[in-house]
Amino acid sequence: MANEANNFQELISHCKEYGYIFQSSEIYDGLSAVYDYGQLGAQLKKNLRDEWWKSMTQMHENIVGIDAAIFMHPTVWKASGHVDNFSDPMIDNKDSNKRYRVDHLIEGHAEELGQDGKKEEEYALLKSMDELLAKDDFAGLKTLIETNNIKCSVSKTCNWTDVRQFNLMFKTEFGAVASDNPEDNIVYLRPETAQGIFVNFLNVQKTGRMKIPFGIAQTGKAFRNEIVARQFIFRMREFEQMEMQFFVRPGTQMEWYQYWQNARIAWHQSIGIPAEKLRFHDHVKLAHYADAALDIEFEFPFGWKELEGIHSRTDFDLTQHAKFSKKKIQYFDNDLNEEGKPYGNYTPYVVETSVGLDRLFLTVISLAYAEEKWNKEDGTEDSRVVLRIPAKIAPTKLAILPLLKKDGLPEIARQLMNDCKGSFMCFYEEKDAIGKRYRRMDAIGTPFCVTIDHQTKEDNTVTIRYRDDMRQERIALSEVKNLVLSKL
């Protein structure tokens, strides 16, 4: 584990060094749990988003995509339950004033017990925590922390406040209109993209003439004032979600819940995540809107954690929005039931798939990162850091490298660049020795490099070098584009 933690720190440094991820506002010492994606990170993120969007909308005739605003009417969040329920139990240490999420504090202690070989105590502690959380028994949680002598990592004391709920939504003021009641101008930064889909259910269903079952997909920013934001881009205060709400006939939701579990885990594997690194984890405590829920977990460098949530959200959201907006939000189902009559009007049930784009990014990049060492033929050691990002999502697909900056080689390379850049992302580089350029391309995860040398002028062939096994072969210049396309 220690080794993995070290590797994780190196991965974070690597992401910064090669333009994948920077701390937000770094020149001002950063902003906690907020990150910027650099030139390569933004492209990798876009590729992941595009893959998801294609799999949802292009590959499913009955799923369409929208792009709703981040600001929504404040009543949306009252209706959805977020104003009253979107909170985590927190506890403060009275000596250090440090605030903890209760589940994180207890889980951290349980992990230490596990590392000390006290596996039974670890499981017993987690079991008690789950039971108390399920009952919202805050006094019981505090007693659990005290009886296990769980200490604050800063003050090293066990001097705790009571457990309290802390709402995670960010508030801001909307417009410049003065009001007697300051609450009138308050809007929230959306904590999930899903509500933008629910409030547009009728708009999309009617204008798109959608027939149940059908889905609405959306990607976009979400904001949560996470108290304990940690593990790099795993838990952020500003992050991006890719969510799809699938509207179904009441009573069929469990079939679709099963369908989307299978579909989503297969999708993760299709972008190169190995099956043994993924697992399902059923929720012990269901959210206020769900009748079934599970997480797809990934084995991150710091342990198994949630990557995606799949939730059977019943008719909760549409019913709540109908109630709060006083609008009828229903669907008329013309299809005939067993008695030969139309199903008629009903409020659809919803199965949701919700994956964090940043967590998916962390999944892909932590799988891809490798530090490699080997012995060369002359007995000396060689090494490299490589990002083995699958070619179809790698930010740059092809590096075009003229061996020298003269003798007409750059002209041939530029011609190849012009031929290829309309079809996929290319990178042109004529500086430094070729070996150094290959290493740099390995470090940023470029799957193919093509070198143009003097032989190219004689027989129109080039050297293509494959990132993963460092193999090199000679191919016709005219074949380069098709070869790369065939690997994507």
- Do residues 429 and 398 make contact, with C-beta atoms less than 8 angstroms apart? no
User: Under rule CB under 6 A, how many of the chain's residues touch ligand GAP?
Assistant: 19
Q: 256 or 448: whose CB is closer to ligand GAP?
A: 256
Q: Of the listed pieces 50-58, 305-313, 336-344, 380-388, which binds ligand GAP according to CB under 6 A?
A: 305-313
The candidate with the shortest Cα–Cα distance to 283, out of 303, 267, 302, 297, is 297
Query: Hey, which bits of 276-341 come out as E strands?
Result: 278-282, 292-300, 303-314, 331-336
Q: What is d(CA 193, CA 241) in angstroms, rounded to the nearest whole number?
A: 7
The candidate with the shortest Cα–Cα distance to 194, out of 355, 84, 328, is 355
295 three-state secondary structure: strand
CB atoms within 10 A of CB 377: 5
Q: 362 or 401: whose CB is closer to ligand GAP?
A: 362
By the rule CB under 6 A, 196 interacts with ligand GAP:
no
Token pair 């940023």 is at which residue?
Answer: 444
Q: Of the listed pieces 67-75, 233-241, 254-262, 380-388, which binds ligand GAP according to CB under 6 A?
A: 233-241
By the rule CB under 6 A, 307 interacts with ligand GAP:
yes
By the rule CB under 6 A, 359 interacts with ligand GAP:
yes
- Do residues 395 and 44 make contact, with C-beta atoms less than 8 angstroms apart? yes
460 three-state secondary structure: coil
- Axis-axis angle for helices 138-147, 119-134 (nearest 10): 160
By the rule CB under 6 A, 330 interacts with ligand GAP:
no
Q: Give me the phi and psi of 471, to 5 degrees please.
A: -70, 150
By the rule CB under 6 A, 309 interacts with ligand GAP:
yes
* Shortest reach from residue 309's CB to ligand GAP, in Å: 4
Q: 220 or 447: whose CB is closer to ligand GAP?
A: 220
Q: 227 or 475: whose CB is closer to ligand GAP?
A: 227
Among 82, 235, 397, 465, binds ligand GAP (CB under 6 A): 235
Among 79, 355, 391, 477, binds ligand GAP (CB under 6 A): 355
By the rule CB under 6 A, 306 interacts with ligand GAP:
yes
281: Cα separation from own chain's centroid: 17
Among 82, 101, 109, 224, binds ligand GAP (CB under 6 A): 224
Q: Of the listed pieces 35-43, 232-240, 269-277, 473-481, which binds ligand GAP according to CB under 6 A?
A: 232-240
* Shortest reach from residue 222's CB to ligand GAP, in Å: 7
For residue 427, the surrounding DSSP H or E stretch is: strand 426-428
Q: Name the closest residue to ligand GAP (Cβ).
A: 356
By the rule CB under 6 A, 218 interacts with ligand GAP:
no
By the rule CB under 6 A, 192 interacts with ligand GAP:
yes
- Do residues 463 and 472 make contact, with C-beta atoms less than 8 angstroms apart? yes
Q: Of the listed pieces 149-157, 181-189, 238-246, 367-375, which binds ligand GAP according to CB under 6 A?
A: 238-246
Q: Of the listed pieces 16-24, 332-340, 352-360, 433-441, which binds ligand GAP according to CB under 6 A?
A: 352-360
For residue 103, the surrounding DSSP H or E stretch is: helix 102-115
CA angle at residue 301 from 300 to 303, to 5 degrees? Answer: 60
The candidate with the shortest Cα–Cα distance to 212, out of 318, 287, 325, is 318
By the rule CB under 6 A, 354 interacts with ligand GAP:
yes
By the rule CB under 6 A, 88 interacts with ligand GAP:
no
Q: 355 or 420: whose CB is closer to ligand GAP?
A: 355
Structure tokens at 329: 């939000």
CA dihedral 131, 133, 139, 144 (to 10 degrees): 60
Pairing mode, if any, of strands 398-402 and 448-452? parallel
155 three-state secondary structure: coil
Q: 224 or 437: whose CB is closer to ligand GAP?
A: 224
Structure tokens at 388: 């083995």
By the rule CB under 6 A, 239 interacts with ligand GAP:
yes
By the rule CB under 6 A, 109 interacts with ligand GAP:
no
Q: Of the listed pieces 7-15, 58-66, 351-359, 477-485, which binds ligand GAP according to CB under 6 A?
A: 351-359
* Shortest reach from residue 351's CB to ligand GAP, in Å: 12
The site for ligand GAP (CB under 6 A) is made up of 192, 194, 224, 226, 235-236, 239, 241, 243, 306-309, 352, 354-356, 358-359
